Amino acid sequence: MSTFFHILWFKNLMFWKVSSKKDFGTVIRNLGSFIVFGSFAVGAFYFSNFITAYLLENVKIGLFLFHRFIGMLLFVFFITINLGNMVVSFSTLYRSPEMNFLLTSPVSYLNIFVIKFLDNFFYSSGTLFMVGFSVLLGYGFYFHLPWHFYLVMMFGVLVPFMFLAACVAVIVLLLVMKLASKINFRLLASGIVLLYMCQIYFYFKVSSPVHLVQEVMKYYPNVDLYFGMLDPLAIKVLPNFWVSEIMYFYVTKNFTSVLQYTSLLILSTAGLFVIGLAVANGIFYSTWITSLSIKSLTVRSLELKNTFFSFGKRSYFSSQTEVLLKKELWQFLREPSQWIHFLVMMALLIVFLASVSSLSIKLESPELKAVVYLIVFIFNIFLINSIALRFGFPMISLEGNAYWSVRSAPIAPSTMYWIKFSIVTIFLTVLSIVIAWLSNIPYLYAQKVFNQFPIPPSLVEPHTSIKILGYYSIVVTPIITATLVSINVGLGSVYSNFIEKNPIRIASSQGATMTFLLSVVYLVIILAVYYLPTTMMFVSASKNSSVNWSILKIVFLVITVPSIFIIIISHVLGIRSLRRDY
Amino acid sequence: MIELKNLKKTFGSFVAVDNVSLSIPSGEFFGFLGPNGAGKTTTIKMMTGLFTPTSGQIVINGFDVVKQPLEAKSTFGYIPDHPYLYDRLTGREFIYYMGGLYKMEKNDLKENVERVIDLLELASWVDKKTEDYSQGMRQRVTFASAFVHKPKTIIIDEPMVGLDPRSARIVKDSLKRQANDGASIFMSTHILEMAEELCDRIGIINKSKIIFLDTRENLHLHKTKYDGNLESVFLELTKEEKDQ
């Protein structure tokens, strides 16, 4: 045990030595981080407070539905943390050079596992704790909740909830790695992706948010009542449900239920952690040995010799562009932590799009319709931002120690920068248009409306205002995408770290967190601006009035002009950073 | 041809390279010696565009490295002290990659890739990924990538790090061949025997300043003042500087 604390102590020391440097540059950077983190925390507080007030007072969805929506968001949050931890754990437990060193030292495998697991968890969760606490503050202030709410929610709910997700992730990873000695690793990885897709699909199928809204709204205006009988049994065993129940019962002052659900969550987390330790104790070292052979397994079949993509072949691109493109392609395809994470994200995206493109919500209130539309709109953008952060931000850093080859060659660093930027931008712009189009299908094309038997279903065309809103979103989304990619690639260059080889750790570094927060601030502003045309169009559709085009034009300018400004600033900073001493 | 004029590099208050001036004509093999932390690598990083000089000028083959970086870089090849490569590429792919960055023509590149693979005897393992290479193998690939575009000047930082005797011989022979073909070579090294064997002229840097600059022939005269070997000259020169 003393070895365990000895290592933790030095890791801690290392962290503080780095973060407490007193040179001018570090002080300015830390001050900048403090301002951004602080502003974001304040922003998250106000945003959460505003959304709570808006949904309960303006849209009047009631306490029960409000907390069920929180539960659904928490499910997505849980899966995100879970998958994130799984991929990061793969890199830190099986790919980190530190493991080679630790495994040669007289420290037990279990201790090494726990150190790396905790390192992993706290490294990637710090910002989430801060955001979570700010959101809780905004929520708690709205309901005038007592001081102990924040303590219980933070240490009794949020931390165990996230830790539970991390425990599940690492157990699944250990089992996958165990199976990898017998089954092809890529087949296993695909199986896991499929499993998570099914999980998300069935969650929303079983929880059926549309049905829930319709059922609860039958009791309007008594929608603050508890409608627990509408919750399917399968949903009740999930930790996100417990958290939403804790919040609901805190607001309704049912402290017995708060205690029951909190205990259930903490005990489940502790249980999962113990199971995780037992599994690790049994198989961690053997899976680490297995992981050494996975490298060759995953790479061999990704060769594309003597094809257009091999270095010996030439195309119509200039020789510099061509080799840079090919290098990016091969580095991506031959790095399992890149393409596995990419596949997982794409799979989640497909599930989301499949659900959204067939979404048919029968709501009366135009404001509520606008809220649903905005949620889907911002979720699309958020997905794009997540991909830009994960794959765009680390692009410059991934040059790694081999960056000397570009810097000493007759090529302007900006050429390399633009090529990297173009790869991410082209891909994400196309993707964003597809996402925007698919998620707007219910608003663009005639929808089948089922009538009472025996009258056959009829096709109902959306109102012109709604169609215009749909096309408007499809036009606006790529502009926002280009801005987000610029922020991520540009600041990825500013915060480049050529020492770190792991793209996931680069994408969860302090610089990446700052970038993420800045992107979120941009997204919140976009959301605030987009609120106006969205509600206007839904109100116009409900009143059958004409569209106010001047508002649409103004909103377009309000989004486009600052976006162009942000794009330019990001690139200037990014390219200037590439000229620093290497 | 390489010309360094009053070159200076500071990091905060620390002066890493102080007023260094050198002129290396075409075809000369120049050895750059000095103890650890003397300023060798900083000088080389400024010459190759990895660092920006605080003041002074670097002209390589007629091009100012700061003002005309692309023109200057297209005339030299660089071999760094740590041969970091892209782990996911093979050695051959890395050489192609470097050739592409130097805008080599398709057929010319293919021919030259084969030439440097032969020259440095890489054929048996060059199609494996570089992540599986030893230090010496990586070093040889960086040599190949520096030679592939037939540079007029070669800048090398510690060429023998991690090389086994056979690899060291291959590298030395290849450098001799480049020098015989007319390339000027600027090589920093810790291995005094190698400098003595290969270099036409030797410069010694200590505490950021050039403290010795002379031809190999004159160096022999210096050696006779001591016990007849370069190591003693080197130790004495750097010691004197230390005592001051």
pLDDT band at A346 (very low <50, low <70, confident <90, very high): confident
Over chain B, what is the mean pLDDT?
89
Q: What is the pLDDT of residue A290?
A: 84
- Do residue B89 and residue A318 have CB atoms under 8 angstroms apart? no
Looking at the structure, tell me whether residues A266 and A349 fall in a common domain. Answer: no
**Is residue B13 exposed (0-12), middle (13-18) or buried (19+ Cβ within 10 Å)?**
exposed
- Do residue A405 and residue B101 have CB atoms under 8 angstroms apart? yes
- Record the tokens describing residue A502, joined without a space: 């792991």
Looking at the structure, tell me whether residues A287 and A354 fall in a common domain. Answer: no
Of A254, A284, A299, the last residue of a domain is A299
Separation in Å, CA of B244 to nearest CA in chain A: 31
Q: Is the pLDDT of residue A26 over 70?
A: no
Q: How far is residue A342's CA from residue A392's CA, in Å, rounded to a whole number?
A: 12
Q: Which of A380, A356, A178 is nearest to A283 (CA)?
A: A178
Q: What is the pLDDT of residue A448?
A: 64
**Is residue A252 exposed (0-12), middle (13-18) or buried (19+ Cβ within 10 Å)?**
middle
Looking at the structure, tell me whether residues A183 and A253 fall in a common domain. Answer: yes
Q: Which helix (H) or strand (E) holds B187?
A: strand B184-188
Looking at the structure, tell me whether residues A363 and A427 fall in a common domain. Answer: yes
- Do residue B88 and residue A407 have CB atoms under 8 angstroms apart? no
Is residue B17 within 8 A of residue B39, CB to CB? The reply is: yes
Averaged pLDDT, B56-63: 95
> Within chain A, how many helices (H) and strands (E) appear?
22, 2
Q: Is the pLDDT of residue A277 over 70?
A: yes
- Do residue B96 and residue A401 have CB atoms under 8 angstroms apart? no
Looking at the structure, tell me whether residues A445 and A527 fall in a common domain. Answer: yes
pLDDT band at A156 (very low <50, low <70, confident <90, very high): very high
Q: Give the residues across from B5 on adjacent strands.
A: B57
Residues of A in contact with B94 (CB under 8 A): 405
- A112-141 confidence digits (pLDDT tens): 899 889 888 887 777 778 888 889 999 999
- A46-86 confidence digits (pLDDT tens): 888 988 998 888 878 889 999 999 999 899 889 888 888 88
Separation in Å, CA of B182 to nearest CA in chain A: 21
List own/partner pairs for B128-132 with CB under 8 A and 24 or more apart. Answer: B128/B90, B128/B91, B129/A299, B129/A334, B129/B87, B129/B88, B129/B89, B129/B90, B130/B85, B130/B86, B130/B87, B130/B89, B130/B90, B130/B91, B130/B94, B131/B87, B131/B88
Q: What is the pLDDT of residue B243?
A: 46
Looking at the structure, tell me whether residues A270 and A351 fall in a common domain. Answer: no
Separation in Å, CA of A182 to nearest CA in chain B: 24
Measured over the CA atoms of residue A394, residue A395, residue A400 and residue A404, the dihedral's sign is negative
- A403-421 confidence digits (pLDDT tens): 999 999 999 999 999 999 9
Q: What is the pLDDT of residue A299?
A: 46
A16 falls within a domain = no
Q: Give the residues across from B30 on adjacent strands.
A: B186, B201
Averaged pLDDT, B4-19: 92
Q: Which of B123, B68, B109 is nearest to A323 (CA)?
A: B109
Q: Is the pLDDT of residue A524 over 70?
A: yes
Q: Which of B118 and A446 is assigned the larger pLDDT?
A: B118
CB contacts under 8 A, A 68-87 vs B, are: none
Q: What is the pLDDT of residue A449?
A: 62
Residues of B in contact with A314 (CB under 8 A): 106
Q: Is the pLDDT of residue A544 over 60?
A: yes
Q: How far is C-alpha A452 from the chain's CA centre?
A: 42
Q: What is the pLDDT of residue B241?
A: 47
Selecting from B70, B89, B93 the residue whose C-beta is nearest the C-beta of A410 gives: B70
Question: Rounded to whole angstroms, what are the CA distances from A134 to A41, A51, A141, A525, B145?
Answer: 5, 13, 11, 18, 53
- A448-469 confidence digits (pLDDT tens): 665 555 566 666 778 888 899 9
- Do residue A408 and residue B48 have CB atoms under 8 angstroms apart? yes
Residues of chain B that touch chain A, judged by Cβ-Cβ distance less than 8 Å:
12, 45, 48-52, 69-74, 78, 80, 82, 84-89, 92-94, 96-106, 109-110, 129, 145
A350 falls within a domain = yes
- Do residue A402 and residue B110 have CB atoms under 8 angstroms apart? no
A308 falls within a domain = no
Selecting from B48, B72, B100 the residue whose C-beta is nearest the C-beta of A322 gives: B100
Q: Which of B97 and A542 is assigned the larger pLDDT?
A: B97
Q: What is the pLDDT of residue B54?
A: 95
pLDDT over 70 for what percent of chain A? 90
Query: Among A147-151, B127-131, B188-192, which is the least confidently predicted range?
Result: B188-192
A473 falls within a domain = yes
Residues of B in contact with A408 (CB under 8 A): 48-50, 73, 78, 80
Selecting from B78, B82, B101 the residue whose C-beta is nearest the C-beta of A401 gives: B82
Averaged pLDDT, B63-74: 94
- Do residue A408 and residue B97 have CB atoms under 8 angstroms apart? no
Number of structural domains found in chain A: 2
Q: Which of A466, A473, A477 is nearest to A536 (CA)?
A: A466
- Do residue A311 and residue B97 have CB atoms under 8 angstroms apart? yes
Q: What is the pLDDT of residue A480?
A: 96
Looking at the structure, tell me whether residues A104 and A250 fall in a common domain. Answer: yes
Q: Coil, strand, or helix at residue B122?
A: coil
Averaged pLDDT, A237-249: 94
- Do residue B86 and residue A299 have CB atoms under 8 angstroms apart? no
Averaged pLDDT, A531-554: 88
A524 falls within a domain = yes
Give the range with max mean pLDDT: A24-38, A329-343, B135-149: B135-149
Q: Which helix (H) or strand (E) holds A337?
A: helix A336-357
B174-212 core/surface letters (b: 16 or more CB in 10 A; e: else): bbeebbeeebbbbbbbebbebbbebbbbbbbbbbbbbbb
Q: Which of A344 and A230 is assigned the larger pLDDT?
A: A230
Q: Which of B185 and A129 is assigned the larger pLDDT?
A: B185
A305 falls within a domain = no
Question: What is the C-alpha R_g of chain B?
Answer: 18
Q: Is the pLDDT of residue A167 over 90?
A: yes
Q: Would an 8 Å CB–CB cutoff place A544 in contact with chain B?
A: no
- DSSP letters of A44-64? HHHHHHHHHHIIIIIS--HHH
Find, in chain A, the residue whose alpha carbon is nearest to that of B71.
A410
Looking at the structure, tell me whether residues A372 and A486 fall in a common domain. Answer: yes
Q: Would an 8 Å CB–CB cutoff place A309 in contact with chain B?
A: no
Looking at the structure, tell me whether residues A287 and A361 fall in a common domain. Answer: no
Averaged pLDDT, B9-21: 91
Averaged pLDDT, A516-545: 89
Residues of B in contact with A405 (CB under 8 A): 85-86, 94, 97-98, 101, 145
Separation in Å, CA of B198 to nearest CA in chain A: 25
Over chain A, what is the mean pLDDT?
85
Of A277, A299, A321, the last residue of a domain is A299
Query: Among A46-50, A264-268, A473-477, B100-104, which is the least confidently predicted range?
Result: A46-50
Separation in Å, CA of A45 to nearest CA in chain B: 41
Averaged pLDDT, A387-392: 92
A7 falls within a domain = no
For chains A and B, what is the number of CB pairs under 8 angstroms? Answer: 101
- DSSP letters of A364-418? --HHHHHHHHHHHHHHHHHHHHHHIIIIIGGGTGGGGGGGHHHHTSSS-HHHHHH
Of A299, A319, A347, the last residue of a domain is A299
- Record the tokens describing residue A162, joined without a space: 């996230």
Q: Is the pLDDT of residue A301 over 50?
A: no
Residues of B in contact with A294 (CB under 8 A): none
A3 falls within a domain = no
Looking at the structure, tell me whether residues A290 and A370 fall in a common domain. Answer: no
Residues of the domain holding A488 = 335-582
Averaged pLDDT, B91-104: 94
Averaged pLDDT, A393-403: 94
Residues of A in contact with B104 (CB under 8 A): 319
Residues of A in contact with B78 (CB under 8 A): 404, 408
Q: Is the pLDDT of residue B226 over 50?
A: yes
Looking at the structure, tell me whether residues A263 and A377 fall in a common domain. Answer: no
Selecting from B86, B92, B99 the residue whose C-beta is nearest the C-beta of A327 gives: B86
Find, in chain B, the residue whose alpha carbon is nearest to that of A408.
B48
Q: What is the pLDDT of residue A272?
A: 95
Orientation angle between helical segments A510-543 and A464-494, nearest 10 degrees: 170
Looking at the structure, tell me whether residues A444 and A514 fall in a common domain. Answer: yes
